[in-house]
Amino acid sequence: MTSHHAEQLGRARTAAEFAAVIALLDTELNDAIARKSELAQAEDRAVFGDGDLAAARAALDDCNDQIALLEKTIDAAGKRRAEAAQSEARADIAALGDEIKAKAAVLGERWRSVHRLVEQLRQELFEADALARTIATANGLFDAAGVTELKVNLTTTRRAAMAGVRAAPPARLSRPALQADRLLLSFLSPGGALDPRPALGAPVDGIKSKFIPASFSERG
């Protein structure tokens, strides 16, 4: 193992840093194993008088020692890398916990805003219903007096007021949220929760309807 690799291993702190040094050590180990094969062949030749046998065996022993040291170092570095990975995973989980805690606080604020807006919507509906009942009563009086031109078309008034661009729901929306969104849209859509069906045979935009009348004070 070179001193450069030893220094890198000594400075390594993260799992990624240990992995990088291990990769270099693996390369060095593969080179040493290849060199061992060459030295073993040189030893075989020296046995038959082709070369210095003592030198060949000393070089082979040194190579074996280097391989053993590299294998031991790689094993130890692998354990350090695993420990670092576990520590990083715990840190990531702790960071995620802090992030989710903050998001939970924001979620609470969102739900409080939903509560406030729903209550505001209910109050607006109550006031709109009272006005609609008043106008419906006046329409009956206009009919009786034969001044139908003074009547106010409640459905036309409401639909005109609720016309406009509607936001598209996000691509990933939970089933309860989708159901709630459909319910909210039903307040705005023709035929929805606030759109009463006309009396049987009554004209709607020049066409006779076969629907049965519904509630919400817009009859008449």
pLDDT in tens, 157-190: 999 999 889 999 998 899 999 999 999 998 888 8
Count of positions (residues) in the chain: 220
Cβ-based neighbours of 204, under 8 Å, separated by 6 or more: 198
Residue 200 has pLDDT above 80, yes or no: no
Determine the Cα–Cα distance for residues 68 and 30; give it in Å rounded to an integer.
Answer: 12
Confidence of residue 145 (pLDDT cuts 50, 70, 90): very high
Determine the Cα–Cα distance for residues 72 and 6; give it in Å rounded to an integer.
Answer: 13
127: amino acid identity, one letter: E
Lowest mean pLDDT among 5-14, 48-57, 120-129: 5-14
In the predicted model, what is the mean pLDDT of residues 202-220? 41
Q: Please give the helix or strand (H or E) that residue 207 lies within, else none.
A: strand 207-208
Confidence of residue 198 (pLDDT cuts 50, 70, 90): low
Residue 211, pLDDT score: 37
Determine the Cα–Cα distance for residues 186 and 188; give it in Å rounded to an integer.
Answer: 5
Residue 215 has pLDDT above 90, yes or no: no
- Output the six-digit token pair for 105: 């606080």
- Output the six-digit token pair for 15: 């799992």
Nearest to 32 by CA among 71, 72, 78, 76: 71
Q: Phi and psi (nearest 5°) for 13? A: -130, -35
**In angstroms, how far is the first alpha carbon of the chain from the final one?**
95
Q: For residue 153, what is the DSSP state?
A: -
Got the DSSP string for 72-103? Answer: HHHHHHHHHHHHHHHHHHHHHHHHHHHHHHHH
Confidence of residue 212 (pLDDT cuts 50, 70, 90): very low
Residue 10, pLDDT score: 82
- 192 sits in the region (left: phi over 0; alpha: psi -120 to 50; else beta) called beta
Nearest to 78 by CA among 31, 33, 21, 127: 21
* Cβ–Cβ < 8 Å for 29, 70: yes
Cα distances from 13 to residues 23, 32, 79, 189, 191, in angstroms, run 15, 27, 12, 61, 66
pLDDT in tens, 2-13: 566 778 888 889
How many other CB atoms sit within 10 Å of the CB of residue 164? 7
